[in-house]
Chains A and B, each alone.
Chain A
Amino acid sequence: MPIPSFPRTIFIRFALAIVLSLAAQAQDDFKDVMSRVQEFTLDNGWRFIVVERHQAPVASFYTYADVGSAQEVKGITGLAHMFEHMAFKGTRKIGTKDYTQEKEALERVDRAFQAIQAEKQKTGGGDPKRVQSLEQEFKSAEAAAGEFVVANEFGQIIERSGGRGLNASTSYDKTDYFFSLPSNSAELWFYLESERFYQPVFREFYKEAGVVREERRMRTESSPQGRLIEEFTAAAYKAHPYGEPVVGHMSDLESFTRADATEFFQKYYGPGNLVSVIVGDVSSAKIKALAEKYMGRIAARPVPPPLRTVEPPQTVERRLILRGKAQRIAYMGYHKPSILDPDLAVYEALSSILSDGRSSRLHQALVQKQKVAVAAAGFTGFPGQKYPGLFLFGAIPSPGKTNEDVEKAMLGEIKRLIDEPVSAEELEGVKNRARAGLINLLGNNTSMASQLAEWKALTGDWRNLFRFLDKLNAVTPQDVQRVAKETFKDSNRTVAFLEPEGN
């Protein structure tokens, strides 16, 4: 027997003491804030969470729509994001000089657009002269509709009321809308947000599609790094919509219609598909009354059915190289389960051990010791968490080093995770950082709102944000080793390299 059992027992006691002390601390730290979280659901299904935080007379408002690009099918890719843009275009009451007349004018624009599409879809691309005259009609219809528009009124109301941080975002999983207001004008948010999802008007639709096409050019087409991500994701998913770009394909951005957007809205923006969170200097009771008054006027709609397609297990390694005018980058992704998986915390521990801080394994191995990379990380959450996503590794090779060099080094670190248990010290760091991160989150109204909304929407209970710390505290080195072994298999891997042109 080379090692007596004594130190082992001490070690276990020590580890246990850490876990217990952390568990006790976690309760102390978060009991107060958890007691300040109130939630309610309107009869129409719209869910609300309110956190009173009276540090300053401001409040953040955050709406999570449980719809992202994963709800799109071919032909309407990019529509979830397009809808996000349309949600700033106003309603029957906001952004118009005369909605009755505008409605007619907008229908004329739709007819003109469809006529162009129909002509272009004819065999041989249609009659160019006819296309030209239809385009003339389209332009004049657009101009006529434009006469009724009060440009960007929705956004201006917020800015003129002292609003800050007005924005929205679309991802594979969700679309979110947020801004902050001086807390006395909270009712303005209820007015605007309920209007936005009660009777929105998709005005300036085809012009805004042009703006979105510029966004695609900026983020993807004119950026080798953006193109790499798009190609990588497409390679990693062959069935599930996570493989389609959030911003959409150019041909869809050129051809989807206002009717497509209306259908999308009807299907995915029913109140039962929304979660709103308000954090700040507000009273929960008043918030509930305002929600009932404003959001309560929207009729319930059926909640959209779940997505059918499940990504089949990957059985073949997939590799791709994109050559562009840019320096090397390497990505490597392994399929992993969704946020609902019991091993969620183990994946977080893996990611934190690999990537958090200069003492993390990838930084130590690739940047400091082997000097093959100037940056390296491995993390979860991409493309999303609602459906099975990826454990994604990324590295930027040092000058003179290749993507193969960094891939080899990353695989070396993966092998180490499979071959040896991680140390107790490393896990202790993971747990401490998660706790500090959560404490820090509580000092920011908007971040707190978005986290509570996300956990509520994806797991059914905001408390899971805090419970996650307990789950993390329970993770053992054996868990990490087991999950690494299950996940990091060659056949479960997609590798993408950006190589400078000419290589």
Chain B
Amino acid sequence: MTRLLALLALAAASASAQAIPDTYKDLKFPPLNPIRIPRVDRSVLPNGMTLFLVEDKELPLVRARAIIRTGTRWEPIEKAGLASTTLRVMRTGGTPQRKGDDLDKELDRLAASVETFAGEDSSGASIFVLKEDAPKGLEILADILRNPAFPQDKIDLSKTATRAGIARRNDNAHGIHSREGARLLYGKNSPYTRQVEYATIDSISRDDLLAFHKQYFQPENVILGVWGDFDAKAMKDLVTRTLGAWPKGNQPRPQTPAVDKSAQATGAYLLNKDDVNQSNISISLLLGRRDDPDYHAMVVMSQILGGGFGSRLFNEVRTNAGLAYGVGAGYRAEYDHAGYWSASAGTKTETTMKALEMVRKEISKIRTEDVTADELQRAKDGLLKGEAFDYDSTSKIIGRLMDFEYYGYPSDFLARFRAGVEKVNIADVKRVAAKYLDESRFLTVILGKAAEFDKSSTDLKLTEVDYAIPPPKAAAVAAPTGETTAKGVALLTKARQAHGGDAVSNLKDYALKLDIARVGPQGEMTMQAEAVGTAAGKSLMKLVLPMGRIEQGFDGNIVWMRSPQGVQVAPAAMAERARQSNLREILTLLRNFDQPGYSAQALGASKLGGKDVEGVLVSNAALKLETKLFVDPATGLLAGKSYMDEGGMGSPPGERVETFSDIRDVQGVKMPFLVVVTTGGQKSGQQTIKEAKINQGVNDDAFQKPSN
């Protein structure tokens, strides 16, 4: 009896064990429930705006998305940043009826959002509201699209945020790599690589925003999609009442700028960065559009080479070699202009070339050898089997149709894409790889610490790319006229006289003892210093610091430093800073302003430290010099100076303003004994002279780099 029970138990156990198939391949699935595609209502309003509506009553929400035919590719290169500033301030600045700050408050309280944002091919707007707030959301959107107020304070705030973005754009290795890679690929002047610089953002005015708005914001340029918990007819009425009331703009439709494929760089480029221990590597080239006949085959080929788990690059570089975390390849074709193909990997510094060569080897292999039937099927399965996910949310369905509409693609483009992928065969894969992955056109870009790269077996020559951030330029000054130049020269001639006349012109050298205070994160720190220099621009500074004495010398060519740790030569950039700094010295400027190559242009009256002053811009294009001097019109003495500093060495870029006081006579030359420095409006330091001598006769040897 017990034996029989045991036997039965065993049978039951093995039955249940057999119920789990030995391999997943034996699993049998029921048919998929039907994919339901909601009714999409498309119409064009009398004012030219295209409208898509989809009812979706699952949740008590209403959402909208607008595609607007404007974007960074249409902004002038010298005003890069105009599209994003315009779109941002449309929302933050509000309208005459609805102030931006009030909108912020009201929308945050309603848990709603209405936003506008710039993109490259197009710009956009969005609404998220609880269904009862739908009328409010659409009224707000219509108002900010039609009547933006563009208040100056919000423009300034937006520009500050943009400047912060510029200052921070080299903080992230991946960001540098993708940005500079795109600039090499499309060219620096391409509409598809608009780069905001201090100079371009500084040049943008409120009038530019108004003009940009007038040119692009018209209902003919808008495709609006609304979906959520509403009745389609009622929603159409609501949209007609709000955005439908926007009159036609009758501005020409923006034309798609073409890509200049000849601008693409080829060969290998280095973005040197010495504080990383992982390199970012990419190989890329400009290619085509989504409606190209070979698009499907290229997508399938890229999937086999570098898309997802089980691609060749993932298996070889990541799984098998353990060389990378991120690795892959993909074809980013665009809708209406040339896109690009790329393969990329991130690997430790000392395996940079090894990983690059592995990627190259896989590319070369797919160009010359057939892929297997299983690889082809894997790629197709991955691309095609999840069709249900193309329809799993209303936002995907409506968003896709809006995109097709915007680019003039057929509404069944997705179905055509699927059919195209289905047809790709092994020969197609090899054919397109061989045709398009042309090694002579490859652009290789490596970001990393070049000094520690492993050796390239192909003796790869890397061209270094400078990705430093161009410093801000001095605020734009009106073009010089005969009048302003004459006045500038007169003011500085008076200043030279006031500061000692011939004594200024005949100055040979100086020796100062001074206290230098610097305002930094730890508060104010004061150092004692001695400075010696010559009219020719050589200088030597001795600093007494808690850790010992430090000397820093400039012999006209190099900057050297002597500390308790020994003698070092500073990077070349420091020598350039030393040269600039000497040219900016007030006595040097007063001596040189009327020399050939220099210009002195009066800027008019202004205030400095509460005092009335006359500004003069002294510049010398060949020497890259631009400094403003401020003259006290009563005495002719200099009250201060200002210049743009590119930052670095821990100081932010920005305008430095020096204010002079306690002006004393030193052997016939008038020198300010107290100089207060501000950067970007914040006090950043001051210098107090305790003792000053001139024309002591300094031996040039003093400026030479000591041997130890």
Chain A residues within CB distance 8 Å of chain B: 29, 54-58, 88, 93-94, 146, 151-164, 166, 180, 182-185, 187-188, 191-192, 204, 206-215, 217-218, 221-225, 281, 293-294, 297, 321, 324-327, 356-360, 367-368, 371, 374, 396, 398-404, 425, 428-429, 432-433, 435-437, 439-440, 442-445, 497, 499-503
Contact = CB atoms under 8 A, between A and B. Distances in A.
B104 A357 contact: yes
A171 B386 CA distance: 29
A159 B387 contact: no
25 contacts: A29-B60, A57-B32, A155-B310, A159-B308, A159-B378, A160-B377, A166-B309, A180-B389, A182-B385, A182-B386, A185-B29, A204-B319, A208-B322, A211-B325, A214-B325, A214-B348, A222-B276, A325-B170, A359-B104, A374-B164, A400-B654, A402-B521, A439-B130, A440-B59, A500-B652
Interface string B375-389: 001100110111111
Interface stretch (B15-23, B236-244, B666-674): B15-23
Nearest to B317: A211
Contacts of A88: 309
Contacts of A442: 58-59
Contacts of A94: 24
Interface of B: 16-17, 19-24, 27, 29-36, 58-61, 92, 101, 104-105, 107-112, 128, 130, 157, 160-161, 163-165, 167-168, 170-173, 273, 275-278, 308-310, 314-315, 318-326, 346-348, 377-378, 381-382, 384-389, 391-393, 520-521, 648-654, 679-682
Contact of B24 (A188, A223, A367, A499): A188
Contact of A56 (B16, B128, B378, B391): B391
Nearest to A326: B171
Contact of B319 (A151, A182, A281, A403): A151
A437 to B, nearest CB: 7
A389 B428 CA distance: 56
Nearest to B307: A159
Residue of B17, B388, B679 most packed against chain A (CB within 10 A): B388
A213 B320 contact: no
A206 B321 CA distance: 10
Contacts of A166: 309
A257 to B, nearest CB: 16
Across the A-B interface, the 6 shortest Cβ-Cβ residue pairs: A400-B680, A155-B309, A210-B322, A162-B385, A502-B650, A503-B650
Contacts of B391: 56
B322 A207 contact: yes
A73 B20 CA distance: 38
Given A56-B392, A164-B386, 6 more contacts: A183-B388, A217-B277, A222-B278, A325-B171, A357-B107, A443-B393
A401 B164 CA distance: 10
Contacts of A164: 386, 389
B32 A184 contact: yes
A207 B110 CA distance: 52
Nearest to B380: A160
Given A218-B346, A293-B16, A399-B654, A327 B275 contact: no
A294 B682 CA distance: 67
Contacts of B108: 356-360, 429, 433
B521 A404 contact: yes
A368 B151 CA distance: 13
B19 A58 contact: no
Contacts of B347: 214
Contacts of B20: 191, 293-294, 297
A293 B16 CA distance: 8
B52 to A, nearest CB: 19
Contacts of B387: 162, 182
Contacts of B392: 55-56, 58, 445
A437 B308 contact: no
Nearest to B274: A325
A316 B61 CA distance: 48
A57 B33 contact: yes
A139 B196 CA distance: 50
A444 to B, nearest CB: 8
Contacts of A223: 172-173
A290 to B, nearest CB: 10
A400 B167 CA distance: 10
Contacts of A188: 24, 27, 29
A159 B382 contact: yes
Contacts of A54: 33
Given A58-B392, A211-B324, A214-B347, A327 B168 contact: yes
A122 to B, nearest CB: 25
B18 to A, nearest CB: 11
B225 to A, nearest CB: 16
Nearest to A500: B650
B302 to A, nearest CB: 15
A195 B308 CA distance: 22
Given A56-B388, A166-B309, A218-B325, A440 B61 contact: yes
Contacts of B35: 56-57
Residue of B111, B385, B648 most packed against chain A (CB within 10 A): B111
Contacts of A439: 59-61, 130
Contact of B653 (A214, A399, A440): A399
A437 B19 CA distance: 43
A425 B680 contact: no
Contacts of A155: 308-310
A203 to B, nearest CB: 10
A185 B322 CA distance: 32
B322 A156 contact: no
Contacts of B161: 374
B310 A371 contact: no
B309 A156 contact: yes
B322 A160 contact: no
B130 A217 contact: no
Contact of B385 (A160, A207, A281): A160
A183 to B, nearest CB: 7
Contacts of B381: 159-162
Contacts of B34: 57
Nearest to A368: B157
Contacts of A404: 521
A326 B176 CA distance: 12
Nearest to B276: A222
Nearest to B154: A368
Contacts of B378: 156, 159-160
A495 to B, nearest CB: 11
A435 B111 contact: yes
A106 B168 CA distance: 47
A152 B314 contact: yes
Contacts of B651: 502-503
A99 B165 CA distance: 53
Contacts of B19: 293
Contacts of B170: 325
Residue of A324, A326, A399, A443 most packed against chain B (CB within 10 A): A399
A101 B30 CA distance: 36
Nearest to A208: B322
A443 B648 CA distance: 48
Nearest to A154: B309
Contacts of A433: 108, 111
Nearest to B31: A184
A58 B171 contact: no
Contacts of B324: 211, 214
A399 B160 contact: yes
Contacts of A158: 309
Contacts of A326: 168, 171-172
A391 to B, nearest CB: 21
B682 A401 contact: yes
B170 to A, nearest CB: 8
Contacts of B310: 151-153, 155-156, 159
A56 B393 contact: yes
A437 B382 CA distance: 32
